[in-house]
Structure 1
Amino acid sequence: MAGIDGSMAHLSDGLFTTSIAVYAVAMVGYTAEYAFGRKGRVAATMPVRERELVGGGGPPAIETIPSTVLPPPAERSFADRVGRFSFAITVLGALFHTTSIAVRAIAVDAVPWSNMYEFASVSGLVGVIAFIALLWRAPQIRHLGGLILLPVILVMFLAGTVLYSKAQPLVPALQSYWLAIHVTLVAIAEGAFMTSAVLSLLYLAKQRYDRVSVQPGFRRGAFANLAARLPDATSMDKAAYRIVAFSFPLYTVAIICGAIWAEAAWGRYWGWDPKETWAFVVWVIYACYLHARATAGWKGRAAAWVNLAAFGSIIFNFLIVNMVISGLHSYAGLS
């Protein structure tokens, strides 16, 4: 295997840092659109009953909306321009991010996701791409970009600091074409799962606000101001479900490929290694989530909590199993 190209590795690190900065700029722009845009301001003042009619396709009761809640056309135009600019910046950040991963691959002369830093970087990129793809189908949730990018930036910051690992050759156990297949599928699935988890969390916030805001004595606080500006709860719940429905088969294939790789490397398909065990736990919980969505009594809030529990298991698997528990999959790359 060729040696490490230090200049390319340094360039990759610089592009990684640049992508974080670009994502941060986009997040600020999305937050401005969220706070000052027409959709957020109308949602914050629209009566709950009317929001339900609009979200369900029914005729909105226009006369119940005070005319003062609509900002002047110039403000709407400015917020829309900020949102479009933020989307363009997000795409630019994704390009920087993709280039960073590609240059890292050239530097190590292998697929660049053999340690926690590289895996977190790839998963963060997938989360951003999932959001970009989601906007093509549901552009009305663009102003939520700040809430989607925040966990991505946090993951990348953690990767670039606590989890950072210098570019280095693959250890012998990872020198296999199965690395590109197995880990790629896992990174794609878990990056998309992150976006789904954020949408489920926002759905729960919106669903709770819609439920309590009609009760007598309701007082609007900071949480209510945040939740009031969110889109229709049903649309966010459906988006979260569709992402999981797309990603779950990829995760399933990834586990199967991992078992085949384990047989070739260690002489057995499954050995209940801590990483294998928690990967199976994650698979079972997501299977329960999809089953819950297909069961009338578990749709909505209960299913959303199952989705969050599944992603919580992914976080446990990524951080605790990799950094605390030792096993055959201990390739964190941390000193």
Structure 2
Amino acid sequence: MIFSTLEHILTHISFSIVSIVITIHLITLLVDEIVGLYDSSEKGMIATFFCITGLLVTRWIYLGHLPLSNLYESLIFLSWSFFIIHLVPYFKKQKNLFNLNAITAPSAIFTQGFATSGLLTEMHQSAILVPALQSHWLMMHVSMMVLGYAALLCGSLLSVALLVITFRKLIRIFSKSNNFVNDPLSFGEIQYVSERNNVLQTTSFLSSRNYYRSQLIQQLDLWSYRIIGLGFIFLTIGILSGAVWANEAWGSYWNWDPKETWAFITWTIFAIYLHTRTNFKSVNSAIVASMGFLIIWICYFGVNLLGIGLHSYGSFTSISN
């Protein structure tokens, strides 16, 4: 009773803080001068991290196993993983052109908000593990998979941001070239003289702007590569440990279950990303990572919506039945 009450309190506290933090983030997008709001949002993220940590520990003590047996618990752990990635640059106090928190904070906020919403109320109740899940591999396999999902999602979003900035630059260059072609010829000499007079004033501004844009693209590419590389390691460990667990539980290392199939597709997509990132331009690898963003959600969430296969524990179909 005490653990259930404490879990209920921590859930409401974390959800309330998350609601306040997302409001502060929206305000800081409109008003950049208010530094105190940004500091308050960071403190709110830290407070929410400790609340979710306390929620997981409380549920762990109450259940006697790591709370990763259904969709609600895995969403809580996914949100906790986002907070881990969010807090790394915060404690290292790195000041870069790109703030990694712009990706991790909204991801953690929306995941936590969905997990604590009324859609998964039936999964909030504690339940005894089914025999297939009563294994020491539960902690190893599921935790590695969820940590891998969190890292790969963050890295994929960084790649999406890279593509947006890159193609926005290309669109501007294309539009400027069209304006140059459509200039009236009768005023060609006058325009040439005016452009020659203004070129010294605008060159420094444009070069500085292009420099910072290129630096931002390079940082997005570097952070994306690092985070996806870390997530790929987690995903590989999770798949290998899951294969060993499957052999113990079902007598076969691989059964081509829908969850296993999409996990393999996810692993293949990001293996292609790492290969492309090493041998080709960052734009090509960013396109592959952007495709991987959708594949991850199909693997993690879409298969649970169907509720089929050997990994249907805690899915919407099994809960309704």
Q: Structure 2-normalised TM-score?
A: 0.79
1:139-218 equivalences under 5 Å are: 139-140=95-96, 145=101, 147-160=103-116, 161-164=118-121, 165=123, 166-214=125-173, 215-216=175-176
What is the aligned partner in structure 1 of residue 59 from structure 2?
Answer: 104
Shift of 1:147: 4.9
User: Is the aligned partner of 1:9 residue 2:9?
Assistant: no
- TM alignment of 1:179-328, pairs within 5 A: 179-214=138-173, 215-216=175-176, 232-296=216-280, 299-328=281-310
Percent identity over the alignment is 28
Question: How far apart are 1:314 and its partner, in Å?
Answer: 1.5
Question: Does the CA-based 8 Å contact 2:246-2:254 persist in structure 1?
Answer: yes
Q: State the alpha-carbon separation in 2 of the partners of residues 309 and 201 from structure 1.
A: 9
Q: TM-score, length-normalised on structure 1? A: 0.76
Q: Count matched residues.
A: 279
CA distance in structure 2 between the aligned counterparts of 1:80 and 1:230, rounded to whole angstroms: 26
Question: Which piece of structure 1 moves more, 175-184 or 126-135?
Answer: 126-135
Query: How much is the aligned-residue C-alpha RMSD, in angstroms?
Result: 2.5
Q: Which position in structure 1 is the counterpart of 2:19?
A: 24
Q: Cα 1:132–1:139, aligned 2, differ >3 Å: closer, same or farther?
A: farther
Q: 2:184 matched to which residue of 1? A: none
2:103 counterpart of 1:119: no
Letter in 2 for 1:159: A
- Cα distance per residue 1:59-90 (max 9 Å; x no partner): xxxxxxxxxxxxxxxx4xxx333222221221
Per-residue Cα deviation, 1:154-183 (whole angstroms, up to 9, x for no partner): 222322332340111111111110001111
Consecutive unaligned residues of structure 2, counting only runs of 5 or more, are 180-211
- Equivalents in 1 of 2:97, 2:80: separation in Å? 19
Q: Which has the higher mean CA deviation after the structures are superposed, 231-240 or 98-107?
A: 231-240
Amino acid at match of 1:270: W
- Residues 243/142 of structure 1: CA separation in 2 closer, same or farther (3 Å cut): same
Larger radius of gyration: 2
Could you say what secondary structure the match of 2:301 adopts?
A: helix
Which is helix-richer, 1 or 2? 2
Q: 2:21·2:44 contact (CA, 8 Å) conserved in 1?
A: yes
